[in-house]
Structure formats: structure tokens, C-alpha cells
A and B are shown apart, each in its own frame.
Chain A
Amino acid sequence: MIGLPSENLLGTVFGVYLARAKDEEIRKRKVASGGAVTALLTYALEKGIVDGVVTAKRTKGFEGQAIVAHNKEELLETAGNKWSIVPFAARMKAKIEEEDLKRVALVCLPCQAQFFAQMRDFPLLETDFGERIKYIVSLFCMGTFAFEAFLNYLRMKYGIKAEQIKDIHLKKDFLEIVYNDTKLDLPIEEVYSYLQAGCLVCTDYTGTWSDISAGFVESEPGWTLLIARNPKAEELIKNAEKEGYLELREGSHLIGEVLKKAREKLARAQQNMMYLL
């Protein structure tokens, strides 16, 4: 347990690690960071700790679709940023019931993590399936795009069509858009207004309700920062290392960097709330 008060911007922090997938294939396919989430969940699937991972797969442009991955191949297909929110909830329930999954891991954004964790901790409905949710992994999030409007902007100003876009990376203050083997660097400020208004008032950067938060920090490119929030999560990460799926380093010294981002998000939310509410 590292020395943060329990009531802080990052929620309960049990352990902080820098992690990277040992598997070369995962690292090659990784988009945002070290592929640790993919490796960790591959471990959970292959050892039978969970029987499915519900995550999002990019279909076209920025659009994502909720799918259930049962093995490494299916997981690899979902790796990478989506940049839009995936209407997960109802579709997820249908998927879990169709396939009769008993223990699932979810990869989602902080808002979705909050919803699912609340459902698991406080089942208000008989139809809730909280007891089937074994791990909630939330990704660091600065907001998602209102992507129809954003794509429209790209088309109007730069002539980039949605189907040409291969990938998008966040690089410091730029969004790097990869399309037709060309790259375009867009300053964040230019596209800021295309974030969803709901994301502009969100105060949660890491997903304080999740079991494990994952994301990247700028000072350690090629590595994923994992925050374990309870002993169960810590055990999963440690065991994945033991079994040779993950490469782990201590990451507590980087918590300040995460906290800085979280503060930025909180400040942004408070500022926007004045205008929006």
C-alpha cells in the first residue's frame, strides 16, 4: 500500500507497477503503451481465471463495438484506442447471457467502470449481473470524441475520410492521425471542442471504481502503468508476472505524474461545469 490518503483523486491505490507484455506479438500490435492489459487478460483467459473478456473493437473510423474475447487472438484484435464511447451496457448483458459466461473481465473507460462497479457492489435490480464481473480494468481517459462531428471536421478541413483513418495516437499536445500512410499532427486545442460535453465535466481520470487502472505515462514510453486497487488485482498482476506473461517494474515513483493528469481533468471539469450546468 503506498502512502496516499484514501480520499484522493486516484481512489484507493494498493500497488503501482510499470508493466510490459513479454510476448513480442502483443508488443508489436500494441498501440498506446506496453500491451500489459492485453498480456494480463491473455493470462487470465489462458489459465481459466475468467471465461471471457468483454472489450471494444474498432469497427470503422472511431466507432467501436462491444465484443467478447475468448482467447489471445480475439484479444489482440481489440487492442488499441477507440476514441469514442461504446454503448456497452445492454449489449454486454446480452452477450454474457447468450454465451452463459460466469466470470468475465471488462475493459472499459472510467465512467463505465463506475457503473459496473456500482452494479457489482450495489445490485439494485434482480437482473443485474454484477456477480459475474470478476475484474474491471479501466483505461486512463481524458475524454471521448463526439465522433460524427469530429470526423466531419476532418473531412471538411483536411479532406480525410473516416474509412482512410488507420490509427490515432496521442502525442503530448498533438493528436497524430494516421491515414493512407500519411500522418497528420493536430494540436489538441484545435479538436478540444469535439470532445463529448459529458466528458468535459468528468472528474475521474484513472477510473477510481475499477480493480485495475491502466494507462501510459509520458516519461516511460513503451510501458503501461498499472494501478492495482485491491489485493485481488495485485494477485492477478503478480501471478501474470510469475507465469511469464508480464514484465514488471515498481512504478510508485510515477504516481505524481498520474496525479498531475488527474488534477488537470478535475480542474477542467470544474471550469466546464460553470458553463454547462
Chain B
Amino acid sequence: MEKLKVLHVDIGGCEGCNVSILRALPNIQEFVDLDMKYLAKKTCAGDKYDIVIITGGVCMNEPHIIEKVKSLREKASTLVAFGSCATFGGILRFCRGGQEPRPDHRNFQPINSVVKVDYSIPGCPPTPQMVQSFFKFFIAGDERRLRLFKVCADIKKLSGFDLIDDIVLTGLCIGCGACELSCPTQAIKMIDKRPNLIAEKCIRCGTCYVRCPRASQLLCMGGRI
């Protein structure tokens, strides 16, 4: 079988996602040719890729980043937003200016604010196993398993706040505790069998939302197939 030609580009994040992809490399190189700036030798290069993976959020004050994302879209048969910043904005949503290296920037958006995305994989950062799983199901054409990520590609924000609004306040929460277990910052605590959000701790990564069985079921039902 011919290997998938994959390009990874980071447009500004904490590098956590990049490390995840690097860590997955030994297990995916059997079926993927990965082009990534951290690899000294380019394994594949060209104008067309089967998959382009973008990590990091788009800084809307930087026209050249927006242009770069648009040109990446043209190179990609399939565009994957990887990690919470690229997917839902993530912690970059909290930028208020004053941060290094460009202190004035305060408007970061997920990739799908600029171009059409095919799959959005949240997680802060998603694990290396997630990278493997994605390629495994993508190559196998297992759309049923990938549907959640396909649906996420059309969503611009998801967070603990949305989980509380959409699932808990509507009374749809069934009290299983999946969100509490899934929160990487422990922003969710079950109190009387229902989740409560510690707002200051939520980094808008969206993991709790896609992990909530009720929320993910509803997302997949109403989403693009």
C-alpha cells in the first residue's frame, strides 16, 4: 500500500501538540510519510498532500498567517485541525495582549474560522495514541468512528461552559461523570451527581464536551455526515 503523504504545520501554540505528533512517529511511519519542520530530512514534499495537519490557533491580526492557512488548504486533500487551539480556539481564547512574543495580539480563532476543515481533533494536547488512532481509522475508512471529529470540524467553540449550558442546564445530564474524568485541568467537579464548572480553570479545550456521551451523541446526530 502506498504511504499517505502528510504535512504538519504549526501556526503558533505551546508545542504540546507537536510533541505528541513526534512521539507518535515511530508507530505511524509504516503507513505515513510525514513532512514536519522538526525532522531534519523531508520524507515527502510537494504541492499536494493527502493530509495536512495544522496545530495552533490562527492569529487574526497576522495577515500572513491567514494567507498561510489558506494556501495549506489548497495543498490538502484532507485538512485536520489537531489540538484544542486549532480546533476550538483553546487556551488562546484567553489572550488579552501583553504576552510574548507579540504582545498586542489578542484575537486567536480556530482554523475553521478561516478555511474549511475536514476533521477537528480536540485535546490539550491529544495523545500520541490519538494520532495513531486517527490514521488507523482514516486509512480503514471507518467513518462511523471518525464522525465525531468530522462534526467538530464545523464547530468554532466548545468548552466546559457549553457543556454546562447545553447539557446540564437543559437537564440532559445523566450524571455519568465522564466530563469530570476527562478534564485535563480538573475544572469540573461532580456535586450531587451533576458537574459543576470552576470557570477560572476551564481552558476551553472542549475535551469534556466531546467526551460527554450525551453531548457527543447529539453532536453526531445533528452534524454533517
Q: Which residues of A contact B (CB under 8 A)?
A: 6-7, 11, 85, 87-91, 93, 111-112, 114-115, 118-119, 121-128, 130-131, 144, 196-199, 201-204, 276-277
Contacts and interface: CB of A to CB of B under 8 A. Distances in A.
B97 interface: no
A128 B124 CA distance: 13
**Counting chain A CB atoms within 10 Å of each CB, which of B121, B137, B170, B177 scores highest?**
B177
A124 B122 contact: yes
Given A88-B177, A123-B130, A124-B123, A198 B211 contact: no
Given A90-B190, A124-B211, A198-B214, A115 B130 contact: no
A220 to B, nearest CB: 29
Given A87-B190, A124-B123, A199 B133 contact: no
Chief secondary structure at chain B's binding surface: helix
Contacts of A121: 133, 137, 145
Given A90-B190, A118-B148, A201-B214, A126 B174 contact: no
Contacts of A204: 217
Interface in B170-225: 170-178, 180-182, 184, 190, 193, 207, 210-214, 216-218, 221
Interface of B: 121-123, 126-127, 129-130, 133-134, 137, 144-145, 148, 167, 170-178, 180-182, 184, 190, 193, 207, 210-214, 216-218, 221
A195 B211 CA distance: 22
A133 B217 CA distance: 21
Nearest to B184: A125
A90 B182 CA distance: 9
B80 to A, nearest CB: 13
Contact of A115 (B121, B123, B176, B221): B176
Contacts of B180: 89-90
Contact of B181 (A93, A199, A202): A93
Given A112-B176, A125-B184, 12 more contacts: A7-B144, A85-B176, A111-B176, A112-B213, A122-B134, A124-B121, A124-B127, A124-B130, A124-B182, A124-B211, A201-B172, A201-B214
A87 B207 contact: no
Nearest to B129: A123
